[in-house]
């Protein structure tokens, strides 16, 4: 899974997500919310990495191109960074 390191993969595995196919069936925002509950140190970059892995793109491209969209959605979910 492109852009996801060993710690991120371990956290995903704990949620039953072991493959890219598993990841692609998930809503990245909802998955990020689940990860934040069990791994409070997870940063916004993790969400970008999840989205990048789903789309086979570098997470930095996602961050640069979709930052406003991401922050607005997280705000709606009550998860916007402070």
pTM summary value: 0.94
Q: For the chain, which residues score pLDDT lower than 50?
A: none
The tokens for 20 are 């890219």
- The CATH number for 6-77, chosen from 1.10.150, 1.10.4190, 1.10.287, 3.30.470, is 1.10.150
User: How confident is the model at residue 69, as a pLDDT?
Assistant: 96
14-23 contacts: CB < 8 A, separation 24 or more?
14/38, 20/53, 23/50, 23/53, 23/54
pLDDT of residue 12: 97
Q: At what angle do helices 6-14 and 28-38 cross, to 10 degrees?
A: 90
pLDDT confidence of residue 82: 79
């Amino acid at each position: 899974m492109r852009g996801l390191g060993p710690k991120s993969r371990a956290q995903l595995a704990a949620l039953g997500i072991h493959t890219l196919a598993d990841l692609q069936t998930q809503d990245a925002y909802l998955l990020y919310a689940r990860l934040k509950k069990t791994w409070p140190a997870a940063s916004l970059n993790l969400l970008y990495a999840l989205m990048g892995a789903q789309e086979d793109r570098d997470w930095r491209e996602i961050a640069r191109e979709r930052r406003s969209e991401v922050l607005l959605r997280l705000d709606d979910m009550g998860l916007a960074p402070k």
